[in-house]
Structure 1
Amino acid sequence: MNKQNKRLNRRDVLKLAVLAGAGTLAGSTGAEANEIKSSKKDISKKQPLHIAIIGGGMAGTALAYRLSRAITYPVITLYEPQERSCWYQPGMTMVGTGLWPMEELAYERDKYLPMHVSLNRNAVTSIDANTRTVTDSSGKSAAYDYVVTASGLQLDFPAIDGLSGAISSLQHTDKLESWMNDPAIGSIYYLHGAVRLSKQLDGVVQKVQKIPKGKRLNVYFTQPKIIVKSPAAAKSALMSLLDKLKKAGMRDRVEIVFFAEDGRLSANDAYDTYYKKLLAKENVLLKKDKLVSVNAAEHKTVFSGAGELPYDFIHVTPPMKTGTYLSKSGLLNDNGLVDVDAKTLEHKVYPKIFAIGDAAGCGALKSASAISSQVKTVTDTIRALDEGEKPKAKYDGYGSDTLLCPGKKTALVEAWNDKGNPLSPLVYLNPMECHVLYWYSSLYLSRSYMMDGVLRGWA
């Protein structure tokens, strides 16, 4: 990272916020004033406040930074077994569509840890919600005043028969299963898959050029229920393939079907309608169906409704789930997410337990852009409680995701407010239209904003 990894000052972060559209700083003034106010208190009269943060990715690290400044006498433990947990995950879409090399994503996690935060390199195995005790894989238990889970989601490929191999939400795996190197099976949702995807899509074009005239390739894109993180990533991969086929003059020789388990392309009605019109315009058939199995040897799939279908290439969006320690601890709702209040992010049953990031069941779009607002809410709530005040911070529900259209070098930022109304991070643009400014902000500005602003707790 070298010079690019330097901390931005507050003015730089504000400029990036306006340009990048990666989030909103609205409402941050009060929380930051409270942080400054708290930092000047006399700690000699305070008892230490023990806080456990589970997950050292972007959400957990950003929270550690803000809490370390906001709390008078913090004792913060960050649980994270991964050596590199600070991948710039929104950049997976850029890598998968061939716009960035893999090196653009890598960050040394330890360089981002704030001072005075203890790193526990063991995985958490359980939380006792009644005693607020965390137990890790070494067998040791520790009691905390507050517990915040920020451990993200796991990619549950094994839920699809034929796609074995557990991959964490950090998009990393040390063991590659045979299907992960199959040129006809792709997925932008994990590191190895994203690195390979652009070449796989080139391979589809090369394959169609070799088949006899009158024949068509069968290409499928799949999506489980819409409660997935970065749902626009798969659609960006689709747009990249369409661009490659059009440039080669081969679009009419490929049958593309998008299988969505619940028939939705967005959790928001307005964007769902937009995406469906976009697929229809591109002659991509949308079917409501669930992927059950993939037979790599015979290039066949099984869907719950359509039954067995042959494929030439399939892009899989896997089902996603929280870590087993959360289900064992009885903290999940019916959707398999941490059962928190949508405004406070505090657990509905067990006080002083919070969730941020992808695993939080707050109804927000699951993407990195939601982190800033969530971190501010939890930080100010814990600070207020520690100071004997009534918490006032409320999460506004903001989250956004970006659809890239490589052929036209435009992008659509999918975002909405808590009433379901589409939002544009750049207020003078129509939120329901692709725009070149979204494209350039995604490729050239958002990473600096997220990694040097949000990750360090300044934005």
Structure 2
Amino acid sequence: MSHELEDLLKTFEKKGINRRHFFKLMAAAGLVTAVGIYKAKEFSSNAKGKIVIIGGGAAGISMAARLNDWLDEPDITLIDPSDRHFYQPGFTLIASGVYQPDEVWRKQEDCMPSGIKWIKDSVAAIDPNKNQVATKNNGKIAYDFLVLTPGLQTNWEKVEGITQATLGEGNAHSIYDFEGAQKTWKALQEFSKTGGKAIYTDTYTKHKCGGAPKKICLLTDDYTRKQETRDKADLHYYTASKELYDIPFFTPRLLKIYEERNIPINLNVRVKGVDTAAKQVHFEKIETVGEQKVYTPFIEDYDFLHFTPPMSAPDFVREAGLGWTEGKLAADAWVMVDKETLVHKTYPNIVSLGDVAGIPTSKTSAAVRKQVPIAAKNLISLMEGKEPEEKYDGYAACPIVTDYGHVLLCEFNYKKEPEISFPFNLIDTSKEQRAAWWLKVHILKPMYFYGMLNGFA
């Protein structure tokens, strides 16, 4: 079933129905309005300028496609070293056996919009004062306008005892890695047989898909129930936050699910390190006593561990001075952009969006989908010598998978108010829904590859 839409697309193409027409048919049937798919040909511009895009992930490629459509004479260079383009929301579904690994990636060259110049290289440095990007192998590249979408940097080394290469050793796993997600699925199946103590953690930094640790925890619970071995599994969730979830409309039901499934929640706890040989997690409890913070270390044994590594903006962003210099977003150098226009606060010829952007919302592909048309329009306004007028309201979506068949579809904005997309505004999204599972598993991935990356939003 997970291939149905992709197969349908290919069948239509063989019959001479192109993808644009396909999406119109889907929209007419009410099947894609939930993800807001449409071909954005609202206007065109004869603005000129050399645009350099750093990063070929969801935000970078979607921006390239959109700008390619909207500019009459686009001059776009995209810098990215990748061979493969991953649909990262699918990693959780690999780790739970729903997807096969080869279902979540395409060749990067097949995802690139036609007509742009792709430099297959890594960025070494940015000089925003000279409007230059230094690459590792192709020298310096000048720009008039910069789109900063390199994604984020996963700092595995900040969990003592762990490296990306050693994921899986000591049964310590993380789905924030393609190979790691595959190892997690093998370990989850084995854990369902042997039982024991399972620990799930998030991290103290902002991180992509904040719901992922919750998802794999709840899917482990459901998987062991389906194997009739839940009585042998002792599951615990640890979060560095002061609450399990901070969107009030959805939090009560999520808390109730954890209570119903007998999964204790431990708040204000950071992972400091993992002793994979001894199978122990070294934690630090942070409490405020009066005006002082008290740090209390403690150790927990485990049989199965899923952890979330700390994340930050890439080093070259920090070194270029493009990150926030004060406030909560400064420590990890998230890019200092206006949260509404996505234009850099110091360098007005730079726009930034996606995971690297220093804005107070979740880092998800759903957020990127909303950011792209706003960032693209504002960039074109800057190219035309005008003020950016489009405003992003902080929309993001986090489909929290609660079991094999249901999803708590959390959609919200900067104000942490629910912002529910049609047709889900017709049902009670404060509770998990089977329709949201079908959206998550069967629709969003083909829409991502065939829609969003091609300039749909």
How far the C-alpha of 1:100 sits from its partner, in A, is 0.9
For 2:294, the equivalent position in structure 1 comes to none
Residues 54, 79 of structure 1: 8 Å contact kept: yes
Contact map agreement 2:94 2:101 (CA 8 A) in 1 = yes
Contact 1:20 1:438 in 2 (8 A): no
Letter of the structure 1 residue corresponding to residue 26 of structure 2: K
Cα deviation, 1:421-442, whole Å, max 9, x if unaligned, reads 1233322122211111101111
Q: CA RMSD in A?
A: 2.3
Q: Which one is further off, 121-130 or 7-16? A: 7-16
Contact 1:20/1:446, CA 8 A, preserved across alignment: no
Per the alignment, residue 439 of structure 1 pairs with 437
Q: Which residue of 2 aligns with 1:199?
A: 186
Which SS does the other structure have where 1:270 is aligned? Answer: coil
Q: Indicate the residue corresponding to 1:371 in structure 2.
A: 368
The one-character-per-residue Cα deviations of 1:356-378 (angstroms, maximum 9, x if unpaired) are: 11111122221111122211011
| Comparing 298-307 and 145-154, the one that deviates more | 298-307
The residue identity in structure 2 corresponding to 1:284 is: I
Which residue in 2 is equivalent to 1:82? 82
Q: Which segments of 5 or more consecutive residues in structure 1 lack a partner in the other structure?
A: 166-176, 209-216
State the one-letter code of the partner of 2:444.
S
Report the more deviating stretch, 275-284 or 96-105: 275-284
Q: Within 5 A, what are the aligned runs for 1:77-156?
A: 77-84=77-84, 86-138=85-137, 140-156=139-155
CA 1:266–1:105 in structure 2 vs 1: closer, same or farther (change >3 Å)?
same
Instruction: Please list the CA deviations of residues 158-199 of structure 1 after superposition, one character each: whole Å capped at 9, or x if unmatched.
Output: 10001023xxxxxxxxxxx2x323362121111111112222
Distance 1:13 1:338, change over 3 A: farther
* TM-superposed deviation, 1:14: 7.7
Superposition deviation, residue 248 in structure 1: 3.6
Match of 1:32 in 2: 41
Give the AA of the match of 1:204. Answer: F
Q: Does the alignment pair 1:415 with 2:401?
A: no
Deviation at 1:391, TM superposition (A): 3.0
Aligned to 2:291: none
The corresponding residue for 1:355 is 352
Question: Helix, strand or coil for the counterpart of 1:49?
Answer: coil
Q: For residues 4 and 124 of structure 1, what CA distance do their matches in structure 2 show?
A: 36
| Change beyond 3 A, Cα 1:96–1:21 | farther
Matches within 5 A, 1:171-320: 177=165, 179-182=166-169, 184-208=171-195, 217-225=196-204, 227-288=206-267, 289-305=269-285, 306-320=297-311
Q: Is the 1:21–1:446 contact (alpha carbons within 8 Å) kept by the matching residues of 2?
A: no
- The worse-fitting range, judged by mean Cα deviation, of 13-22 and 391-400 is 13-22
> Partner letter of residue 15 of structure 1?
M
Say if 2:388 is the partner of 1:391: yes
Segments of 5+ residues of structure 2 without an aligned counterpart are 1-5, 286-296, 325-329
SS class of match (2:41): helix
Any idea what SS the aligned residue of 1:444 has? helix
What CA distance in whole angstroms lies between the structure 2 residues aligned with 1:14 and 1:300?
54
Q: What is the CA–CA distance in structure 2 between the aligned matches of 1:137 and 1:66, rounded to whole Å?
A: 27
Note the C-alpha offset of 1:235: 1.5
Between the aligned partners of 1:2 and 1:146, the Cα distance in structure 2 is: 39
Counterparts in 2 of 1:328 and 1:386: CA distance versus 1, 3 Å: same
Instruction: Give the structure-1-normalised TM-score.
Output: 0.86
Deviation at 1:387, TM superposition (A): 3.0
User: What is the aligned length?
Assistant: 425
Q: Measure how far apart 1:404 and its partner are.
A: 1.6
Please report how far the alpha carbon of residue 2 of structure 1 lies from its aligned counterpart in structure 2 after TM superposition: 8.2
User: What letter matches 1:290 in structure 2?
Assistant: R
CA contact (8 A) 1:332 1:338 kept: yes
Query: 2: distance between equivalents of 1:267 and 1:332?
Result: 25
User: Could you tell me which amino acid in structure 2 is paired with residue 370 of structure 1?
Assistant: A
- Change beyond 3 A, Cα 1:181–1:61: same
2:55 match: 55
Deviation at 1:344, TM superposition (A): 0.6
